[in-house]
Amino acid sequence: MNILLIYPEFPDTFWSFKHALKFVGKRSALPPLGLVTVAAMLPQTWSLRLVDTNVRGLTQKDLAWAECVFISAMVIQRESARQLVTRCKEAGLRIVAGGPLFTDEHEQFKDVDHFILNEAELTLPPFLEDLAQRKPKRIYATTEFADLRQTPAPLWNLLNLKHYATMSIQFSRGCPFNCDFCNVTALLGHKFRIKSAAQIIAELDILFTQGWRGPVFFVDDNFIGNTLFLKSELLPALIAWQRDKNDTKFITEASINLADDPALMDLMVEAGFDTVFIGIKTPDNICLSECSKSQNGNRDLVEDVKRIQRAGLQVQGGFIVGFDHDLPTIFQRQIDFIQRSGIVTAMVGLLQAPPGTRLYARMEKEGRLSTQHSGDNVDGTTNIIPTMSLATLKDGYRRILDNIYAPAPYYCRIRTFLSEYKVPHVQKNLQFGHILAIVRSSYRLGIADRERLHYWKLLFWTLCRHPRLLPEAIKLAIYGYHFRKVCDKHVI
What counts of helices (H) and strands (E) characterise the chain? 20, 14
Does residue 277 come out as left (phi exceeding 0), alpha (psi in the -120 to 50 range) or beta? Answer: beta
Among 135, 111, 114, CA closest to 124: 114
Alpha helices in 243-349 (DSSP H): 262-271, 285-290, 301-311, 330-341
For domain 166-404, give the CATH number: 3.20.20.70
Evaluate whether 204 touches 304 at the Cβ level (below 8 Å). Answer: no
pLDDT at 439 over 90: no
pLDDT band at 436 (very low <50, low <70, confident <90, very high): confident
Residue 248: exposed, middle, or buried by beta-carbon count in 10 A (0-12, 13-18, 19+)?
buried
- What's residue 27's pLDDT? 96
**What secondary structure letter does DSSP report for 284?**
-
- How far apart, in whole angstroms, are the C-alpha atoms of residue 136 and residue 255? 41
Q: How confident is the model at residue 488 (pLDDT cuts 50, 70, 90)?
A: confident
The rounded Cα 41 to chain-centroid distance in angstroms is 24
Kindly report the pTM of this predicted structure. 0.94
Domain spans of the chain? 2-140, 166-404, 434-489
Q: How many residues does the chain have?
A: 492
CA angle 376, 382, 388 (to 5 degrees): 145
**Whole-number pLDDT of residue 425:** 60
pLDDT reported for residue 492: 53
CATH class of the region 2-140: alpha beta
The C-alpha atoms of residue 388 and residue 284 are separated, in whole angstroms, by 16
Report residue 131's pLDDT band, with 50, 70 and 90 as the boundaries. very high
Share above pLDDT 90 across residues of the chain, in percent, rounded to a whole number: 86
